[in-house]
Chains A and B, each alone.
Chain A
């Protein structure tokens, strides 16, 4: 079974804080993705990575950065959290055929 683990289910942070969201997959997948999910907007791609130390911008990268130092780990960084970044964040990893498997999500509240 594919397992994608996100380090936190719920996070509460203050405006201006630096926030790290961690994601680990155990299936040796090359590709990893970060999405945010908001009511009425669906899933929107923030960043993705096709290899270690590689990253590509998705549809909404502003205010975010990522790090992929090891194949199994993909981190999403909010450099200075803002209230409009309150959302559900979902990490996914995919096979060569680009079938994506998701983690349980991190619900982030920025106050």
Chain B
């Protein structure tokens, strides 16, 4: 079993829809959680960074962490065609020296 599980998609939604992307994980010691967006043939770019449980909002994006369920989510409101990309979740333990563990990514397609 992988340490971080993420549905690969593809997930296809119409423009303007609310998108929910999710990851589950098995290591309860993970404390820091990230979402990266990766456009085709490009490197990942950091979207959201959260510590421990709770919600964090940035514009149309909301990151949610539920440590009791070992489940994290990224919500995208009013989705746009420019949101079409692969979304990677990542997480790590405490300590600045700890490595990131990534999900395999969910491919999102927002259609006109």
Q: What residues make up the interface of A, taking CB atoms closer than 8 Å to B?
A: 4, 33, 40-43, 45, 48, 50, 58, 90, 96-105, 107
Contact = CB atoms under 8 A, between A and B. Distances in A.
A48 B99 CA distance: 9
Contacts, number: 47
A33 B102 CA distance: 14
Interface in B63-112: 88, 92, 96-100, 102-105
The interface residues of chain B, by DSSP majority, are classed as loop
Contact of B46 (A41, A43, A99, A105): A99
A105 B97 contact: no
Contact-size category for B: 20 to 34
Contact of B99 (A45, A102, A103, A105): A45
A103 to B, nearest CB: 5
A97 B96 contact: yes
Nearest to A30: B96
Interface stretch (B9-17, B36-44, B54-62): B36-44
A42 B102 contact: yes
Given A43-B88, A99-B49, A90 B105 contact: no
29 contacts: A4-B43, A40-B8, A40-B104, A41-B104, A42-B6, A42-B88, A42-B102, A42-B103, A42-B105, A43-B88, A43-B100, A43-B102, A45-B99, A45-B100, A48-B99, A50-B97, A96-B96, A97-B96, A98-B96, A98-B97, A98-B100, A99-B46, A100-B46, A100-B100, A102-B36, A102-B43, A102-B44, A104-B42, A105-B43
Contacts of A41: 104
B7 interface: no
A58 B36 CA distance: 20
Q: Which 7 A/B pairs are nearest by Cβ-Cβ distance?
A: A102-B43, A42-B104, A43-B102, A104-B43, A42-B102, A102-B44, A105-B43
